[in-house]
Amino acid sequence: MHCVSTVFLLFLTMDLRYIDIHTHSVCAAANVLSLRNIIVSKDDLPDTYCSVGIHPWYIDNERQQYVELEQYATEKQVLGIGECGLDKMVAIPWNKQVEVFEQQIALAEHLRKPLLIHCVRSYQEVFMLLDGVTVPVVFHGFNKKIELARQIIQKGYYLSLGASIFGGLLDEHIHQLPLNKIFLETDDKPIEIMDVYMYFCAVRKMPLSELQEELAANFERVFKYSVLI
């Protein structure tokens, strides 16, 4: 699906036309900036741009995991903290999820790096824990109702859309969400980020170049990294 992965410094010189805000893929096509998600205790830190977090599914030795996260999080290629958050569909004890999430919020605030949020049936609880947070916050893989999307944006947070947009179920979101508050992603799905961009543009009836410019501006604003397009 993807070509051979590029090294970290290559991103500084290439024309970047697509941004994949959240992916678990090892590789990235030459015209894509992929922000790979690294799960502490599961993945090794790469030399390409990434986010690093303790995923609520994989909390097992939280003290050691947090030590590892602290070590990873200061590296220059780590642009964000996460994915992290809360999930009511897993067996990990709720109080442990909350404790680990709070630690990661505090770390993101300390390092001034944005948070990428995993949230399953826990939006109000996550909102409560994020109250007062000053770094940018991105809810990844959003596929819920437009009313919740508006609530998230009204709080100043960002949304990332992925494979769920295909098939028309999120067309209302594509039409109505402000472009300065969204990202696009592939997550762990067997899709290409270019196809996500193309579908979004087709539904919204907008030029691809305009979407690229908007999402590049969002990326620079949130992650403090300038993307050439």
Predicted local confidence at residue 59, as pLDDT: 97
The pair of three-digit structure tokens given for residue 189, joined into one six-digit string: 């799905």
Q: What is the pLDDT of residues 100-148, one digit of tens each?
A: 999 999 999 999 999 999 999 999 999 999 999 999 999 999 999 999 9
Alpha-carbon span 55 to 75, nearest angstrom: 19
| CATH code reported for the domain at 8-223 | 3.20.20.140
Average pLDDT in the chain: 92
The tokens of 133 are what?
């947070």
The predicted structure's pLDDT at residue 123 = 98
- Evaluate the omega torsion of the peptide bond into residue 99 and state whether it is cis, within 30 degrees of 0: no
pLDDT of residue 226: 77
Taking a C-beta distance cutoff of 8 angstroms, is the pair 225, 79 a contact? yes
Q: Crossing angle, helix 193-204 and helix 208-223, to 10 degrees?
A: 120
Instruction: Identify the pLDDT of residue 15.
Output: 58
Residue 112: exposed, middle, or buried by beta-carbon count in 10 A (0-12, 13-18, 19+)? exposed
* pLDDT for the residue numbered 157: 98
Tell me the pTM: 0.91
In the chain, which residues have pLDDT < 50? 1-14, 229
187: DSSP letter:
B
